[in-house]
Every structure is written in C-alpha cells, then in structure tokens.
Amino acid sequence: MHTVGMADNTAAPSATESNEPRRPRSNPSLRERVDALRNLPPFLRLIWATSRALTMASLGLRLIRALLPVITLYIGKLIIDEAVRLVGVGAGFETLLEAWRSGQIDHLLWLLGFELGLAILSDLLGRMISYADGVLSELFTNSTSVRLMEHAATLDLEDFEDPDLQDKLDRARRQTMGRMNLLSQLFGQVQDSITVIAFAAGLIVYAPWLIVLLAVALIPAFVGEAHFNALGYSLNFQWTPERRQLEYVRQMGASVETAKEVKIFNLHRFLITRYRELADKFFVANRALARKRALWGTLLATLGTLGYYVAYGYIAWRTVKGDFSIGDLTFLAGSFRRLRQLLEGLLVGFSQVAGQALYLDDLFSFYDIEQGIVSKPDAISIPRPIVRGFTFENVGFRYPDAERWALRNLDFELHAGEVLALVGENGAGKTTLVKLLARLYDPDEGRILLDGRDLRDYDLDDLRANVGVIFQDFVRYHLTAGENIGVGQIDAMYDHERIRDAARRSMAEQVIDALPNGYDQLVGRRFKTGVDLSGGQWQKIAIARAYMRDAQVMILDEPTAALDARAEFEVFQRFRDLSDNKTAVLISHRFSSVRMADRILVLEQGRLEASGTHEELVVQGGRYAELFELQAAGYR
C-alpha cells in the first residue's frame, strides 16, 4: 500500500506547462536567406563523404544530359530544313520504299535516327541519374541519422529536458529525412545551368537582346518565389511545438501503451478533438500561405509568358522577312521557350535552395550544441576499490528556468560499502540526488567528492561505468529478453552466461524461462512476434540490467513500484545480500524495504531533514516517523 507518492518528479517545466507566449520566429530577411547559403558547402561535404563514387557519377551523368536538349533541338532544326529542301526541289515519291531506294532521303533518315538515339540516351541517362540519386539519398539519410544519434548521445540530460532543444531536435530529425531533395535540386541546378549556357549561346548568335528581355521578364517571378519560400520556412519554424504536440496526440490515440486507459476513460473523443483543433489551426495557416502564393505566382508568371510571346513574334517576323529559315524559326522559338523555362526554373530553384538552406540551419545548429558535462583533459580513473566513498559538501542544484531549488545545502557522506536509503515525498529531490551522483548533472552550488577528489576530476565514462542505475521510469526495450538485460553492459551484450547470472540475481530468471523462446524471445507488443510482460516482470528484467555491470556503486531508484510489498522486499533483500563490498543507494516508499539499509536519509523539499537507522528515526519522531506510522496504519 502506498501512502507516499510514487515518484520524485522534480523537473524543469515543459513548454506546454508554461504560460509564457511562444515567441514566433520573424520572417527571415533577404540577408538571412543569402547568409543561409553558407550551409551548402558543409552539406555538399557531407554528400561527398557519404559516397564519392555516387556523387561523381550523378554529376557526370548530368553533365552529359545537360547538352542533349540543345543538340536535340538543333537536330530538329536540321530535320525541318531538310524536309523543306526536299519539298522545294520537288522530290515527289509515291511510297516510302521508292524514296528510300532513290537515296534522296538518306540524310533525313540519318538525322531522324540520330535524334531517336539522343532520345533513348536521354531517357537512359535520366534513369541512371535517378538510380544514383536514390542510392545516394538512402546512404545519406542513414549516415546523417547515425550522426544525429551520435551527437545526441553526447548531450547532457539537462539538454533533453529543455523544451527548446526538443523543438530543435525535432527539426533536426526531420532534416535527416527530408534534405536529400536538396541534393537533386543542387545537382539539377548545375545541369540546367549548362543547358542554359548552351541555349543562350545560340540565341546570342541570332538576337542578343532576346536574352535581356528574358531576364527582365523572369525577375519578378524569382523575387515572389523567394519571398514565399521564406514565409514557408518561417511558418514551419514557428509551428514546431504544435507539430510535436500533434505527433504526441496521434501516438496517444493509437498506441498499445495507452490503449487501456483510452478505452476505459473513453478518451478517444477528447484526443481526436484535440488533434483536430491543432491540425485545423496549422491547416488554416498553410492554406492562407498557399492561396497568396498561388495568386501572386500566377500574376508574376504572366510576365514571363508575355516576354516569351514578344520574342516569339519577333522571331516569326524575321522569318517572314527571310532572315531565318523555317528550321531557324523552330530552333529559336524552341530555344527561347526552353531557355525561359530553364531560367525560370533556375531562379525559382535558387530561391528554393536558399529556402532549403534555411532548413539546414536546423540540422547544423543542432550539431553545434556542445556537451556541458565532459571529462577534463587530465581526468583520472575511478579508484578501484573506492575506499572512503562520496561526500556532498553544501550541494545545491536548480533545474534550468525553475524558480525552486531541487536540492539546497546538502551535506552528508555515502560511505564505501554502505547501503543508503533515501526517503521523502514527491519532489523532495531523491531522483535529482542520484542523478548528481552519476554526474548526469553538475551541482550549481557546492561540490561532490569521491575519495576526497571532486567528482569532476574523474573520467566521465569511467565514472558511469562504475555506477549501475535503474530508474523508476526505466526503458522497456522492444528487443529480446536477453538483449533487454544485455544493454546494461553493452560490451557484454552477447555474454550469455553473464546475462543469465544477472537474471538469476534479479529473480527475472523465472519470468524468462516461461517465455516461448526464453532469452531469445522478443518482448513488448510493438512487433508481431513480441510477447508482452506485466509491469512487475518488466521491472525484474530492468533490475537485471544493473546486475550486468560490475559496478562499484549500485542505485535502485524505486524500480520496484509495480511489485507487491513481499516481492519488493525479496528483491531488495537479495540486492542487499548481493551488494557486499558495494556502495548502494535505495529509493523506495515502502518502509519495510528501506529499513534494511545501513542508514536512511530523509529529504524534504530538497533539504536533508534527518539521518539515521530506521529505529533511530522512529525514536526521533519527525517526518520519517509520521510517514512510517501512516503507512503502517494502512496495513492494520
């Protein structure tokens, strides 16, 4: 029976709990958009590092394909001129066979065959480019996702409890999946630029002023596209918290973890309503932007169309005058039309690339976050064995942006080989204390000593390798039962004997032996072949993770909350028996369990209120005696 709260929930306030209005990001200025292009070189370096061969292949194939439209159009001009010539000389034939035998259409047939070959080659190159880009995209997504996880692993726990960083992480995660179209755009820009140069060279020979007309007609469309791309980025940036809420509500409404409560409390209508409210607001904002973009895009694109027909009329007039042949008319009109399309695509594409580069800011700014809790360059190893233990000297800690101190003026010792229990109501600071002990945080005041040296003097990886912690909110890995235990000591993940020994110590052996495939059984309901476990069974497997480590310090932060009083007592008794020569910290709200500790610390609102054995604290009276009496009364 629990008369005291279940967990120490002292934590930083979340974004959704804050009453402060969210400060939206303003529309990026032209300078900011241009400055964002600085993200392209590191992005291209990432692409190059992913696969040099595929990058070179994609660029090389595009270079060849870039020249094909000009060559094809010019061959078309020659075909038309040859056809007109044949008509002009009066080469009349009754049948195609007769014309072929005469030899007069050989040149025309050769030109047609050449254009057919170019069409086949262009299609083949397009498919090869798509293949290269597709494979490169998959490799890039994988490598970027790995780098994201690697960098996230270096960040402090404090970072993950910061709502702003959660937004940044969400945006960065989206960029690992959604930025490969930028690769295709950039490489496509290179390909189109080469094609533009080739077409422009032909137009300059005939009528240079057409290029000027084309540029003037396209500038308004470019400016408009750039403006709306920036607005689109601004909208997506501002709505990151809402998108995270949308994803959270969607998961809550359709997941195995929440299904029981959703059904019992009939929550589906509430969740659907909340989802619709958020989704509708986002939809309205997107729709308004899409309407403006469509309206202004149409108006500005009309200028480009007008410019094209002015040029077309000019070319037609020169043809009527006899300056150009019919083939020239076809070539120039086609060149101008393609050039207009390509230049419009390049300008719009440049604007889109600049917009995409703004999104890259989200990825690279996440990479720029530096770890705060690190090892010193001259860090030393943890003493083996620990001789004196830990000393808290006037330790104080406050979560970022929190007004209340989670811990303050904390002075006590945790002796080597001692089993220490922490007791206190919710929010008293128990979990925060063990996080400081494992150096998941550093104190804001005072210091923590280990064998007389500041905890920050020791190598961080070595410290954590010597501390085995299981928290109440332990992770339920949807892996095999053996892997769920093996993650406690990753370098011994496949040491089956060590895993079995850890299971025996935590009393998880009976749970696993009852599974259809034993230690190889997938657990959890996420995957089809998984077998779900009860809360108590999960907890025994989680506790086995702590036994996987040959750690000098063992911490159980109320991981047995789902066990009944007898089962928890047995787990803690075994833990006590197996913790000889180890320093141990227990957190539990059941006094029948904590009374077996060598010493008990009573925490109240982040301060140390009392210390002693169970018998001493009961005699002293105070909060411990009061809580003990309340819990004991529940069993009478």
pLDDT at 209 (0 to 100): 67
Asked, for residue 242, whether it belongs to a domain, the answer is no
Q: Would 113 be classed as within a structural domain?
A: yes
**Choice between 93 and 591, residue whose per-residue pLDDT is larger:** 591
Question: CA–CA distance from 624 to each of 165, 411, 610 (Å)?
Answer: 39, 19, 8
Give pLDDT tens digits for 553-581. 888 877 555 566 666 666 666 666 666 67
Taking the C-alpha atoms of residue 511 and residue 50, their distance in angstroms, rounded to an integer, is: 44
Question: Strand 453-454's sheet: what is its strand order?
Answer: 407-415, 389-397, 445-450, 453-454
CB 585 within 8 A of CB 556: yes
Provide the domain limits for residue 508.
475-550
603, 495: one domain: no
Q: Is pLDDT of 633 > 80?
A: no
Partner residues linked to 484 by β-bridges: none
pLDDT at 437 over 80: yes
Residue 102: phi and psi, rounded to 5, are -70, -20
- pLDDT band of residue 16 (cuts 50, 70, 90) is very low
| Domain-located, residue 101 | yes
Q: Are residues 77 and 175 in the same domain?
A: yes
472: Cα separation from own chain's centroid? 26
In the chain the first and final C-alpha atoms are separated, in Å, by: 11
**Cβ pair 588, 7 in contact under 8 A:** no
For residue 69, is pLDDT > 50?
yes
Question: Reduced to 3 states, what is the DSSP secondary structure of residue 583?
Answer: strand
Domain end call among 367, 399, 427: 367
In the structure encoding, which two tokens stand for residue 39, read together?
A: 């993200």
Residue 537 has pLDDT above 70, yes or no: yes
Are 195 and 141 found together in one domain? Answer: yes
Judge whether 555 and 597 are in contact, CB under 8 Å: no
Could you tell me the pLDDT band of residue 104, with boundaries at 50, 70 and 90?
A: confident
Pair (186, 65) in one structural domain = yes
Closest CA to 260 of 532, 573, 591, 608: 532
467 CA to centre of own chain: 29
Residues 438 and 583 in one domain: yes
Number of domains in the chain: 3
Chain length of the chain: 636
CA gyration radius for the chain? 36
Q: What is the mean pLDDT of residues 354-374?
A: 73
pLDDT class of 184 with cuts at 50, 70, 90:
confident
Instruction: Among 511, 528, 550, identify where a domain stops.
Output: 550
Residue 531 has pLDDT above 80, yes or no: yes
Whether residues 121 and 133 share a domain: the answer is yes
527, 550, 573 - which closes a domain: 550
**558 by DSSP, 3-state: which?**
coil
Per mean pLDDT, which range of 4-18, 436-450, 559-573 is the poorest?
A: 4-18
Do 367 and 151 contact (CB within 8 A), yes or no?
yes
Task: Please report which confidence band the pLDDT of residue 334 belongs to, taking 50, 70 and 90 as the band edges.
Answer: confident
Q: Is 347 helix (H, G, I), strand (E, B) or coil?
A: helix
Whether 584 has a pLDDT exceeding 90, the answer reads no
Alpha-carbon distances, residue 548 vs 283, 489, 514, 519 (angstroms): 50, 6, 21, 15
555: Cβ contacts below 8 Å, ≥ 6 apart: 434, 437, 438, 467, 468, 469, 470, 546, 584, 585, 587
Whole-number Å distance between alpha carbons of 408 and 410: 5
- Asked if residue 124 has pLDDT above 80, the reply is yes
**Beta bridge mates, 623:** none
**What is the pLDDT at residue 125?**
92
Check residue 490 and give its pLDDT.
78
In contact, 275 and 249? CB cutoff 8 Å:
yes
- Find the range with the poorest average confidence among 97-111, 603-617, 621-635: 621-635
pLDDT tens for each residue of 190-223: 888 888 888 777 677 766 766 666 666 666 666 6
162 falls in which pLDDT band (50, 70, 90)? Answer: low
- Look up the CATH number of the domain holding residue 421: 3.40.50.300
500 lies in some domain: yes
Omega before residue 385 within 30° of 0, cis? yes
Q: Which of 339, 403, 300, 345 is nearest to 184 (CA)?
A: 345
Are 475 and 485 within 8 A, CB to CB? no
Q: Is residue 446 predicted with pLDDT exceeding 80?
A: yes
Closest CA to 438 of 472, 475, 463, 405: 463
Beginning with the edge strand found earlier in the chain, give each strand of the sheet holding 419-423 in spatial order.
Answer: 467-471, 553-557, 583-587, 419-423, 599-604, 607-612
Residues 178 and 207 in one domain: yes
Q: Are 506 and 441 in a shared domain?
A: no
pLDDT of residue 263: 52
Share of the chain above pLDDT 90, in %: 5
Domain annotation covers residue 533: yes
Query: Helical H runs in 466-590?
Result: 481-486, 496-506, 509-513, 535-548, 565-578
pLDDT at 128: 92
Side chain identity, residue 455: L
| Rounded-to-integer distance, Cα 349 and Cα 341, Å | 11
Distance CA 175, CA 585 (A): 42
* 176 and 302 share one domain: yes
Which residues are CB-contacts of 528 (< 8 A; sequence separation ≥ 6)? none
Amino acid at 253: G
Say which residue, 320 or 133, is predicted with more confidence.
133
Q: What is the pLDDT of residue 224?
A: 64
For residue 9, what pLDDT band results from cuts at 50, 70 and 90? Answer: very low
pLDDT value of residue 5: 35
C-alpha dihedral, 5 to 11 to 16 to 20, nearest 10°: 120
Same domain assignment for residues 393 and 352: no
Q: What is the 3-state secondary structure (H, E, C) of 90-122?
A: CCCCCCHHHHHHHCCCHHHHHHHHHHHHHHHHH
Cβ-contact 7, 426 below 8 angstroms = yes
CATH classification of the domain holding 327: 1.20.1560.10
pLDDT band at residue 13, thresholds of 50, 70 and 90? very low
Residue 427's nearest CA partner among 81, 36, 8 is 8
Asked if 545 contacts 485 with a C-beta cutoff of 8 angstroms, the reply is yes
| pLDDT digit string, tens, across residues 400-436 | 777 888 898 899 898 888 888 888 877 788 888 988 9
Residue 104 or residue 416, greater confidence:
416
Q: What is the mean pLDDT of residues 468-482?
A: 80
Phi/psi at 475 (5° precision): -85, 135
- Quick check: 274 pLDDT over 80? no
Packing angle, helices 106-154 and 180-206, rounded to 10? 150
> pLDDT tens-digit profile of 134-151?
888 888 877 877 777 777
Q: Which of 58-67, 430-439, 575-584, 606-615 has the lowest mean pLDDT?
A: 575-584
Helix (H) or strand (E) holding 618, with range, is helix 614-620
430 within 8 A of 422, measured Cβ to Cβ? yes
Would you say residue 19 has pLDDT above 50? no
Q: Residue 271 CA to chain centroid, in angstroms?
A: 25
SS3 state of residue 299: helix
Q: Are residues 545 and 615 in the same domain?
A: no
| Average pLDDT over the chain, rounded to an integer | 76
Domain-located, residue 635: yes
How far apart, in whole angstroms, are the C-alpha atoms of residue 255 and residue 33? 40
Per-position DSSP letters for 181-238, written without gaps between them: HHHHHHHHHHHHHHHHHHHHHHHHHH-THHHHHHHHHHHHHHHHHHHHHHHHHHHHHH
Question: Does residue 577 lie in a domain region?
Answer: yes
Asked if 544 and 557 sit in the same domain, the reply is: no
The distance of Cα 348 from the centroid of its chain, to the nearest Å, equals 28
Predicted confidence at residue 10, as pLDDT, reads 40
Q: What residues pair up with 412 in beta bridges, in sequence order?
A: 392
Q: Is the pLDDT of residue 341 over 80?
A: no
